[in-house]
Amino acid sequence: MSELLLVRHGETEWSRDGRHTSWTDKPLTARGEREAASLRPALAARDVGLVLVSPMTRAARTAELAGLVDARTEPDLREWDYGGYEGVTTAEIRRTRPGWSLFEDGVVPGPEGHPGETPEQVGARADRVLARIEGRPREPGGDVVLVAHAHFLRVLTARRLGLPPSAGALFRLDTGTVSALGTEHGRPVLVAWNGRVGTGADPAGAR
């Protein structure tokens, strides 16, 4: 592949409010739709060979508005399962767990079907995605675009760079942004990060 482009979906009500959002299928806000549409010119200028999208509506809608066609749904691109912290902010969690960090401490179990994930489990999913990309046929070529979620993409970035999943904490990722991973002298490198096309509003911050 040429470069791996990471697109975080546009703003939702919960991402705006800092609420951890994994399986809750919140739609984009009006601002989130503008953020997604603003990515269209930059992505149209790229030679895109493959588009993989999280199964969540907010990611699929972002891909559509950004002009990414022939997108394939990839279940492993879903967001970190936050378990019992679904819909809860970091500030609320730290009232009972001072100094809590998602990337270091993980989550508590949630309702049936959502036991939560450890950083290592999310890292394993990221490794699977990267292996599928690396194992795909070289034709057609072009960039690979992943449209997904902040915490998962941060872990995937860490794994691509040879770092542990917890290193995803180093990579803030705002809504409606494009980042790029590439290579230099045969080694994975960070090419561009958290790129936002002007939407008339300040970044919302990673959730």
48-53 and 143-148 as β-strands: parallel, antiparallel, unpaired?
Answer: parallel
Is residue 79 annotated as a catalytic residue, yes or no? yes
Q: What are phi and psi of 91, to 5 degrees?
A: -60, -40
Give the 3-state secondary structure of 71-135: CEECHHHCCCCCHHHCCCEHHHHCCCCCCCCHHHHCCCCCCCCCCCCCHHHHHHHHHHHHHHHHH
Say if residues 76 and 128 touch (Cβ distance below 8 Å).
Answer: yes
Is residue 9 annotated as a catalytic residue, yes or no? yes
**Catalytic one among 11, 35, 79, 86?**
79
**Catalytic one among 9, 20, 149, 151?**
9
Active site residues: 9, 79
